[in-house]
Amino acid sequence: MTARLAALLLAVAPVLHAQVTDTIDVSRIIIDARIWSADGTAFELTPADLRVRVDGKPAEIVSIDYVSDVSHTEPATQPAEQPEEGIEVIPPPPPRGRTLIYFVQTDFGRAAQRVVGEMQLITNFNKFLETLAPADRVAILTFDSHLVLRLDFSSDREQIRKAFERVLRIEDVKPELTGASPSLAAMLDEKTMKETATSEEALTLIAHVLRDIDGPKTMILFGWGLSEPLGGKAWLSPRIPRISAELAAARVTVYSFNFGVGAQMRIGLESVAYDTGGFYTSTHGIAFDNGIKRLKVTLEGHYEIEVKNPLPSTPGKIHTLEVQGVRRGLHIEAKHTFVDR
């Protein structure tokens, strides 16, 4: 080997190494799971307690941690004690709260059987407010003929209640900037929202925006159906699995509350909830109260599971996801899909 060739190989070696490193880099998947024992309690888990598969292939679990999602810390009302001179005091971090999105699928056609359910929902909305902790942030969006942002993220319960009272109104709203960070008002383009023609398009747009917000998010979907009628029966549009995968990739768990009358159009609401790791219920009768109780308990905390994706990244591809318990008696709720970014 000549000295010139040896020098050339030494020069390109770092580049070749970097290329190889980039090629074998494995992407990670974050799974937000609710896991209980047979008696309904959460407990410490290790990677050995679970099995995860992506498109049927085993995925290595890197870590699993329990995260308490509820902070009952109230904002300080008394001035802090003055520190001694020369001593630097680092203020404590603000209380950690949950990020919730209330999405209301209203009915532009004002079908009587749906309007009745919507009115009952507004009347009983205080039950949802009672599930909130002080540091929780709530944003409210609706869809009638297009997507409308009615309230940017806020922890003010009275502000949330007043905004929800107007969800049935067909109006364009200019939501006040609440000073929250992140801000949906700053992230959603007004022209794009007006161009959304269906609830499905609206949910896809929301999913894309929520990707840029760190951490797990919860969507409470109040709707009457995401299905399409075909021959007198509900038909699950191929768009629904992609919507679920987009929401799941943004770490959004959906809990569907159906205020429509009858079960014909429920299939889409059920599918989105199941695929993202949430649940489906009705807002009629005892099912509504049971759904509220279940929601409150479910959102107390979750397990954050980090796994190595055993498959090469293919942007836009939808994958299936399975989280199974090794030990007996585990009840697991986790997303069943995601889309590569």
pLDDT at 112 (0 to 100): 57
Report residue 189 as tokens: 């383009």
Contact yes or no for 266/224 (Cβ under 8 A): no
Long-range CB contacts (within 8 A, 24+) of 269-272: 269/221, 269/223, 269/225, 269/226, 271/226, 271/236, 271/240, 271/241, 271/244, 272/203, 272/221, 272/226, 272/240, 272/243, 272/244, 272/247
Q: Is 211 exposed, middle or buried (0-12, 13-18, 19+ CB in 10 A)?
A: middle
Q: Which residues does residue 151 pair with via DSSP β-bridges, in sequence order?
A: 140
pLDDT at 329 (0 to 100): 84
Alpha carbon distance 301, 172 (integer Å)? 36
Q: Residue 45 half-sphere exposure, CB side, CA atoms within 13 Å? A: 32
pLDDT at 182 (0 to 100): 86
Tens-digit pLDDT profile for residues 130-163: 999 999 999 999 998 899 999 999 999 999 999 9
Using DSSP's 3-state secondary structure scheme, residue 77 falls into coil
Alpha carbon distance 254, 266 (integer Å)? 14
- The b-or-e profile of 223-238 (16+ CB within 10 A means b, else e) is bbbbbbeeeeebeebe
Of the candidates 47, 100, 38, 46, which has an alpha carbon nearest to the alpha carbon of residue 69?
100
pLDDT at 65 (0 to 100): 95
pLDDT at 75 (0 to 100): 45
Tens-digit pLDDT profile for residues 121-131: 888 899 999 99
Alpha carbon distance 228, 90 (integer Å)? 56
Rg (CA), the chain: 23
Q: Is 324 exposed, middle or buried (0-12, 13-18, 19+ CB in 10 A)?
A: exposed
Set out the domains of the chain in order of their start, with CATH numbers. 43-69+301-329 (no CATH), 99-299 (3.40.50.410)
Using DSSP's 3-state secondary structure scheme, residue 45 falls into coil
Alpha carbon distance 157, 163 (integer Å)? 10
Q: Could you say which residues of the chain have pLDDT below 50?
A: 5-6, 8-10, 12-25, 75-80, 92-93
Of the candidates 294, 276, 312, which has an alpha carbon nearest to the alpha carbon of residue 32?
276
Block residue for tokens 């993220």: 153
pLDDT at 88 (0 to 100): 57
pLDDT at 233 (0 to 100): 72
Pairing assessment for the beta strands 50-54 and 318-325 based on DSSP bridges: antiparallel
DSSP 154-200: E--HHHHHHHHTTTTS-----PPP---SS-HHHHS-HHHHHT--SHH
Q: Is 73 exposed, middle or buried (0-12, 13-18, 19+ CB in 10 A)?
A: middle
pLDDT at 217 (0 to 100): 97
